[in-house]
Every structure is written in structure tokens, then in C-alpha cells.
Structure 1
């Protein structure tokens, strides 16, 4: 079992989902699947026309990262180089998502808010720098910090660079706890249960509800808990998918089949499934972003 597979898993799962990200119509996704594999689809606005969804990735090409994956890559690169520092995290974030940044594509509200604060406040920016937002972007930090064998406290610090919402920070901590327990030899089922039990908020209760569902019902579970970007939607769906996962690729594909914020869910699902099952070289080979190989795992 290799810590680096958590980061690899998050990045690969994100890129695999990006082409159908934020398509909320499960029936349409099934129709798309009939024309070829759901993984690593080229973003196509025609797929979204007349359907419930938001076409965000016109500037991206198949195999590239979404803004979620780019955020995870930034932290992974930083954590692999040296001890994590929040100010360096923000600087790398600005270099990616700020004016003339190297990431070309959609930016969500937490990303725009952090960039604006950095531009307006500069070196005087206060800690923590994130906004009170209960969506998934801050969970992006977990895979890279875990892969670099850094601490749970570092996860909290890094998450709060992007979001100060306590349910989001707790969700990031739950992903980290699950990864650590799997690495220490716990079964995936036990690690999922223990990490959900450790959460005392509403999101934790929903995660426990998802684990209690009889049988594997990915699409129905996603529809029940919600397909949007909020942690109370994403985390229960991820825990249900992982409870029944048997390999990395099928877990990633089922995440896409669920629809909605598949890239956001990839930050948790891809990291944990990557650590548990390993990331197939055949999927790594489909990554198009030349900056993804940030560790020896990808060389």
C-alpha cells in the first residue's frame, strides 16, 4: 500500500470525471455511456443542451484536471517538496488561479474569493484565509497532505486556507482519518464506519445513514442525498460508493454515473479508493496534464 496512491487516485478520478462534471441528469449520463466509456470524456456542450446541468469546462480537454484536481495538485506538489506552509499554499494557489495564472478554466466561489482576498490584502491577509462555504473545494487538500505523511492538524490548516466552515473541515478530517486507518491495516468497511462515527455534525449523521443502506444503490443514493457540491450531499454518497467498491476503476465510473459534482466527490472517493485498490497504470496513462507527474509514482 502506497501513500502516493491517494494523491494519484484523487487526480485520476477528477480528470476521469471532468468531461461530464455537473451534468445532473442520470438518464442522460446513461445515454452517453451507450456511445462509449464515461471515463475521460471530452467536454461537449451538446451533451448538456436541454438537460439539467452546468457546462463549466469548455476550456479543458479530455484527461486534464478540473479546478478541484488542480487545487489538489497544488497541495500535493507543495507537501511533497517540504513541510506544508499556508502562505506558500496561497501563493501557489494565486499562481494557478489568479490573474494570468497557469490554470485556464472555471473557478468556483471559494477560489474566486480567496484570489480576491490575496489581491486586496496581500501580505496582510488574515488567518484563516478561507470563506465560510460548505462546499467540497477544501477537501481537495487531503490527498496531497496524506501522501506526504503530514499530520491531521496540517489538514485542518490547509482546509481553512479555502474554507472555514466547520462541516467542511470535519469532512476533510474524516477523509484523512479513513486514509490513515486503512494504511494502518483496518478494513475499508471499518475505516469508513469509524471515520463517520467520529463526526458529530449533521454531515456525519448523513454519512452513517448512507452506510446503513441495504445493498448497493449508487444512483438512488446519490439522488436521495443530493448531487450538488455541498459536503452534506457529497460525503454520504462517497461513503456509500466506497462501502461497496471492489476496484478503483469501477468506483470512479459509478461516481460519474451518479452525476452532479462528480469531480468534487473525486477528491474523497479517488483518494481512498486509490490507496485501497491502487491506481491502474492504464488510467494514469490517460492523463493529459503534463504537470500531473509530481511524484515518482507518475514518472
Structure 2
């Protein structure tokens, strides 16, 4: 499998995707601490890769969300990016919305792998999955063949649901028949079950996300942009992926802005030109232009001016300010942490953008020691290499 990217850009895009994981992990220790003075007091000039500790939040306003996490772990943003990466890997670098939805629900839902904070769009998206599924079952039951008993109908729903949650289309018929055959040998009952499963499958909706315009809409974009780098389909697939978790027009618009920024940088365009292109998709172009003004990097000041919370209309100008004024990957990540608030969410655009520009190592790239600090670093980077193999 492979993302179709120019060979000469593969190293830069590999660095960019690694840069997202590093930036998120580096920011976790002080994530959602809003008081910049307290951040400076705790982290000094090197606030990256601190262990998440509740006592950091005893002064100044903040929310400690990462109990039980350790140095090198990533936030829920990284976890969601990993889910989309897994889906892209499983689908030959293409976006399969249903597969992405199933993986997202399985990972973050009951019995899933995730242990940690659940943000608002994730929580509502999980609720929407359940509501959409109930409505699809109702629609399917209304069209079931006549002659079935109420007991048979209930059993058929129980039989097919495990399969509609992980399979779709032509994949459904055989395993559904085999499952029903364990209880009902009659062909008509088995065919009714297949009809039920296929009807549920058709009624499940693609736009499952919350009406929410926060950073989860854009934080998962780097691997998707890598797979569609330079493609005319990028804006379409960006919207489709975003509406899985954030079914909101402003969120989609900000995501297209972020995706276009990364796409231009991944292709090797200069930062100024990439920003010019990206701004054309933004709901608030004026704020991004103001964020680019001046010549001095001031992450704290950007937070004071535009805001530090998870909302995209606050986060995107801060991201643009830091990118436009930071001279290195390290400087950008530290400025983002010092700004405070939702540093982990912003990290998923700042980290890949700066790594695409500056690469790995040297005076301006991702520090090699930082790469090694990410939890499960080898498997993270192996996934990146698998996604970008040509």
C-alpha cells in the first residue's frame, strides 16, 4: 500500500507525520493549564515532556485531564489520529468512512482500547453512532419479510448486529448466514437476516459527528493529507473525515484551511505561500492575517490576543502566529506549550508543519532525543513508513 507522493518529498512528509506525535507527547504534561505564569513556573524554558501531575494545576486556572498518563504518552488527539491512520493503512491509503467510523467506535467506545479523557465531540459522536444504529435497525425491521415471529425478529437483530458493526456491503451476507444457521436452519429465516443486515448497512449515515467546532476536527488531518498530497480530492476527503466527528460547517472550513496549509508544505512550497493559500479557506481570514503580523514570536501574547481554548477560531490564529514566527521545531513547540490551554490540539498542526519545513535533527529540526521519548515510538514510526511506502 502507498500514498502517492513524490519520492523527493517522502523524507519531509515522514518527518512531518513523526512531528505530530512528538509535539503532542511533548505538550501533554501541561495540557489545559491556562495560566502562562504557572506554566513558566513549572516548566521554565524547557516545558516539554513533563510528567502529567495534578499538582501543576493547584495554581492558576486549568483542567487536569491526564491522570495515569506518563512521559511520552499522547493525548486523545493522538489516539484519534492513530485510529484514522489504522483505517488508511487497512484501505490502501484511501479514506473509507464506514471503516473509519467502525474503528473509531471500537477504539473509543465501551470495551475499546482507549483509557483516558473523552472530549465532547468524541462523546457525542459515540452517542450518535448508537442513535444512528437504532434508527437503522428500526428502518430495517419495518421492511422485514412477512411470516417471521416476533421472537425470530428479535433473535435476528441480535445475530446481525455484531457484523453490521464491523463489516459492510458484500462482506455481510456469508457470515450473517453462518451465524443465523447456528440457530435457524430455514433458508427463508437466513435470507431475512441477510436482508436485515444489508438494510441496516444502507441506513447507517456517514456524517456521524457532533455539531462541534473544536480542535478534534483538524488534529487528525496529517496522515490524511499525506495520503492525498497534491490530489484534487483533498478537500472532499477532508470534509468527509471531519464530519465523522465534527459535523459542523465552520469546523469543516477550518479543517480545509489546515489541510491546505499542510498540503502545500508537504509538497515543498514555502511557508508564506502555503499560508496565503490556506487562508482562502478560513472562515475568519482577518484573524489569521493579524496573527502573521509583526516579527517577534510571542506564544503567550498570541494566546492573550486570540484565545487558548479548544475552539478553532481561537486555535488557528495561534497556530498561524507560531508557525510564522518560530525559527525551529523546538522553538515552535515550546512557544505552543508556553501559550497554554489546548496545546496538544494545536500541536497536531504546528508539529507536522514545522517538521515538514525543518526535518529531523540539526539546529532547527525535530531533536533526535525527542523522537525517542514518544511512547511506542517504534510502532508509531513504522506505521508512518508503511503508509508512505512507494
The TM-score normalised by the length of structure 2 is 0.71
**Count of residue pairs brought into register by the alignment:** 295
Task: Give distance in 2, aligned partners of 1:118 and 1:193.
Answer: 37
Task: Give distance in 2, aligned partners of 1:200 and 1:69.
Answer: 24
Task: Give distance in 2, aligned partners of 1:17 and 1:30.
Answer: 13
**Range moving further from structure 2, 181-190 or 157-166:** 181-190
Shift in alpha-carbon separation, 1:117–1:125, aligned structure 2, 3 A: farther
Corresponding position of 2:215: 136
- C-alpha contact 1:86 1:157 (8 A) present in aligned 2: yes
- C-alpha contact 2:219 2:346 (8 A) present in aligned 1: no
Match of 1:277 among 358, 371, 385: 358
Per-residue CA deviations over 1:251-270 (Å, capped at 9, x if unaligned) read 11110010000011112111
**Range moving further from structure 2, 229-238 or 4-13:** 4-13
SS in 2 for 1:295: helix
Task: Give distance in 2, aligned partners of 1:296 and 1:52.
Answer: 40
| Residue 128 (structure 1) shift | 1.0
Per-residue CA deviations over 1:142-176 (Å, capped at 9, x if unaligned) read 10101223633211110111112222111211122
The structure that has the greater radius of gyration is 2
Match of 2:97 among 86, 98, 106: 86
- C-alpha contact 2:128 2:209 (8 A) present in aligned 1: no
- C-alpha contact 2:34 2:340 (8 A) present in aligned 1: yes
Which structure 1 segments of 5+ residues have no match? Answer: none
Corresponding position of 2:188: none
Which structure 2 segments of 5+ residues have no match? Answer: 1-8, 134-200, 361-365
The TM-score normalised by the length of structure 1 is 0.92
| Residue 52 (structure 1) shift | 0.3
- C-alpha contact 2:292 2:320 (8 A) present in aligned 1: yes
- C-alpha contact 1:133 1:165 (8 A) present in aligned 2: yes
Corresponding position of 1:296: 385
Corresponding position of 2:79: 70
**Range moving further from structure 2, 285-294 or 65-74:** 285-294
Corresponding position of 2:281: 199
Match of 1:25 among 35, 52, 60: 35
Corresponding position of 2:273: 190
RMSD across aligned positions (CA): 2.0
